[in-house]
Amino acid sequence: MIDADDLITLVRNYNPKTNAALLRDAFAFGDAAHAGQTRHSGEPYFTHPVAVAAILAEMQLDDATLVTALLHDTIEDTRRTYGDVETAFGEEIAELVDGVTKLTNLQLSSTETKQAENFRKLFMAMSKDLRVILVKLADRLHNMRTVKHMRPDKQVQKARETMDIYAPLAGRMGMQWMREELEDLAFQVLNPDGRISIMRRFITLQKETGDVIPRITDDIEAELAKAGIYAEVMGRAKRPFSIWRKMEEKEQGFSRLSDIYGFRIITASERDCYIALGAIHQRWRAVPGRFKDYISQPKSNGYRSIHTTISGRDGRRVEVQIRTREMHEVAEAGVAAHWSYRDGVRAENPFAVDPARWIATLTERFDTEDDHDEFLEHVKLEMYQDQVFCFTPKGEVVKLPRGGTPLDFAYAIHTRIGDSCVGAKVDHIRVPLWTRLKNGQSVEILTAEGQRPQATWIDIVATGRAKAAIRRSLREEDRERFIKLGRELARVAFDKIDKKATDKALATAAKQMGLGGRKDLLARIGAAEIAARDVIRTVYPEIEATSGDEIDAARAVVGLKPSQTFRRALCCQPVPGERIVGISYRGKGVMTHAIDCPALIEVEDQPNRWVDLHWQEGKHPAVHTVSLDITIANDAGVLGRICTLIGEQKANISDLVFVDRKPDFYRLIIDVDLRDVEHLHAVMLALEADSDVASIGRHRDLDRKP
């Protein structure tokens, strides 16, 4: 453990005007408070707060943040109180220490609802003073560096929490180096064999090709010198987890993965960045689709850089990042650059974002969410996604997460535009609303009066803002209808156990389930968000809510008008348990399609024909025919065994057609009558496990239309 003088020396390297007496007092206060306490490793406990302070000193943060690091566990783990800290170090530091203590007490890896509440508290703490989360991230980093001393189950819990929450949060704040180290430390716990495998393969590659980093660095420096650019060039191999993730995303083996090296070019000016880019592209072939200009379109956390991927020596791809020194400082520190010191004064970096504005952009819509699950979904989407930049017809820039659609674009402009959207043009060409937008595209939203959001839009959009707006609109529009439907479903469910669905019983259930009241409960029952039998279990836990009767196949879906009838679409053959949507046909009633049915594209621009449907809760009869496309070995007894396997799963074969006969294999279409999606999965799993089944999947015939 370093002592107080070592820490002060470390701080004075970037802040000669540091308050050494304050740091020394905090060191003594923390050391005394933690006296006699030890870590899992057997070391004195105070080694941990000192290590956290050292990490923050490397980030060149202010004295208050470093003092908070030294004291961050005193209120929680010692006899020292908030008042003690405030008396000794003032209100600012006491508030920071208290904020870190509250974050520590949040169990972020608990159940979903509680996790959403804790996320809300986490962002509230961040909004008060972002330095709280900086201390917490440094705390988590040191804990992960020493995680091997914990129990195996605790190691996995901390690693999963780190991978799911803290690493993405560090990345969202622009602290990419911390994100990469946190991910790699968690990867070492969660998948040690995978990490070792990556490292071994990388060592083998280095033996075969030699260390290519110095050679590529020399090549880049030579090209820059020709262009008259003085710059610092740095190269490195990507971390094991980063390589593993690329392998997973691209579904490629290590030997086929090329861009495992990254290089940074640090120039003197923004102008030199673009000259350097031209020199690089003139010398090496640029890889299409791998260019991003975050200088002209900075990220919300202040990140600026030019990214390009080129085919370097021996055709090996390398990623190159080009930025100025000031941009590099923000790229390393992210939002924390706001507090960075240099020569005893706050660093005046023009690219460092105001933390208050940054946190405001991150949280401005969170307080509008009245559903915790929606809030958690929104937070995770905002934290995990990268961004694309698209343009309105007037040239204004709209930022979206990667995977955003024209609907996301519409809601990003204004909720009213999103709600009334009927179509979109991308680069002047009409496209489906589920089209994934790319960087630089121009998007025009087509609207119409009277248009309202469709339930299917939830599965199309990628942003939390759009999802929340759609759900809110659907709830407002359908609330009364859902309340009436919910009341009927509750009445039927209560009648089956000889009870009455009284207002008092429903109000009691709503209170127990944490809902706003009786009408809120009924609306959620009607919307199929809560099952009526779950309400019965809440009010009458001693009664087993039995529903042995099968649902009438003619009334299997919910959402039809009394005069409407429905049929399952033959093209996609949806079964109970799958997301569905209804399409009305003149004289033919409503046809139910699976939500991902390709046939829906033909009616995408006719929203008046779409009907919001879902399957009735309960036990369905095995009358829903699904066509299975199966290839089996052409051996004696195989077909008979396949039919037996289907029968053992209590499924009936209603038709069987041979599509292709080969000397060694048969391909056939088998129509099987099933109850629901779980029944379908059971049948397919049983068939897939048979050694003579070469392939199996659902047969979808788009020619079989209404």
Residue 431 tokens read as: 């496209």
Separation between Cα atoms, residue 482 and residue 476, nearest integer Å: 10
Report which of 569, 568, 565 is spatially closest to residue 705, judged by C-alpha positions. Answer: 569
| CA 699 distance to own-chain centroid | 32
Separation between Cα atoms, residue 403 and residue 387, nearest integer Å: 9
The answer to whether 366 and 378 have CB atoms below 8 angstroms apart is yes
Q: What share of the chain is helix, strand, coil (3-state, %, to 5)?
A: 50, 15, 35
- Measured in residues, the chain has a length of 706
C-alpha atoms less than 13 angstroms from C-alpha of 706 in its C-beta half-sphere: 21
| CA 81 distance to own-chain centroid | 38
Neighbours of 256 (CB within 10 A): 9
The answer to whether 315 and 294 have CB atoms below 8 angstroms apart is no
Strands 317-324 and 387-391: unpaired
Report which of 238, 240, 241, 239 is spatially closest to residue 259, judged by C-alpha positions. Answer: 238
Of 76, 84, 117, 223, which is the active-site residue? 76
Please identify which residue in the block is written with the tokens 């060191």.
27
Q: Dihedral through CA 265, CA 268, CA 270, CA 271, nearest 10?
A: -100
- Count each helix (H run) and each strand (E run) in the chain, helices first: 27, 23
What is the helix (H) or strand (E) element at residue 697, kind and residue range? strand 693-698
**Is residue 579 classed as helix, strand or coil in its secondary structure?**
coil
Report which of 384, 381, 413, 385 is spatially closest to residue 397, judged by C-alpha positions. Answer: 413
DSSP 38: B
Separation between Cα atoms, residue 342 and residue 549, nearest integer Å: 75
Of 25, 77, 270, 319, which is the active-site residue? 77
| CA 185 distance to own-chain centroid | 20
Please identify which residue in the block is written with the tokens 């905002």.
382
Residue 162 tokens read as: 């780190």
| Cα separations in angstroms, 226 against 230, 284, 314 | 10, 14, 22
77 is catalytic: yes
Residue 1 tokens read as: 């453990």
Which residues lie below 8 Å from residue 470, measured CB to CB, with a gap of 6+?
411, 418, 453, 457, 458, 461
Which residues lie below 8 Å from residue 403, measured CB to CB, with a gap of 6+?
385, 436, 462
- Considering just the CA atoms, what is the radius of gyration of the chain in Å? 30
Give a three-class secondary structure readout of 49-85. HHHHHHHHHHCCCCHHHHHHHHHCCHHHHCCCCHHHH
Report which of 282, 351, 289, 274 is spatially closest to residue 319, judged by C-alpha positions. Answer: 289
552 is catalytic: no
Q: What is the DSSP string of 320-389?
A: EEEEEHHHHHHHHHGGGGGG-EETTEE---TTPPPHHHHHHHHHTTGGG---HHHHHHHHHHHHH--EEE
Catalytic residues: 76-77
